[in-house]
Amino acid sequence: ISELQGLSFSDVTLKLTLPDKKDFKQKGAVLITHWGLSGPAILKLSAWAAREMKRADYRGTLTVNWMGGKKTGVVENQLNQMKMENSKNYLKNIYPENLPKRFWLNLLKKYSIDGDKQWANISKKEGVTICQALVASSLNISGQNRFKDEFVECGGVSLTEIDFKTMQSKICPRLYFAGEILDVDGITGGFNFQNAWTTGWLAAQHMVSR
């Protein structure tokens, strides 16, 4: 998928499957990079499943619905409608409007479907293949990676050991903790900044008042 780097999708549905664990799902924008997938939906999914992914040694399967979560039957009908309305047009030129052309051409190539074929001549098997690739594309997860080093990560000082009125350790008085060192990792969207600012302010206020 790295050959599609730079492509972005505004509405994608993701399902993460880990060994012996419940599935995790997320919907939103996705970006294809040179090392895999990124974007808000991926970051949120990674946050929700952080501990379980570590236990699974970052091995699992990501199922991607590139059609915004549309069901198989809906996409089948959409493709059939395109076939009826564009019977004389070539596959390489007519495709679902939410998809980048480079993505569509790559999909046809991957499944050995001739892009110079007219929509009228697409076989039932090819139609099913395209539909399945759009609603349930399966990607193997081979490990962890980060696009930027400054991402907040799961883990840290246990919250049960902190007095949140002062941010002081319950175990070691006059020792304060704030920000990322705490076991707090909010989803993308500014929540981690707020955690750092608020806990830092609380700690400073108590230190000054002593």
Please state the pTM of the whole predicted model: 0.78
Predicted confidence (pLDDT) per residue in 136-160, tens digit: 999 998 877 765 555 667 778 999 9
pLDDT value, residue 51: 85
* Annotated domain spans of the chain: 1-144, 159-209
Residues β-bridged to residue 138: 63
In 3D space, the residue among 122, 114, 113, 82 whose CA is nearest the CA of residue 99 turns out to be 82
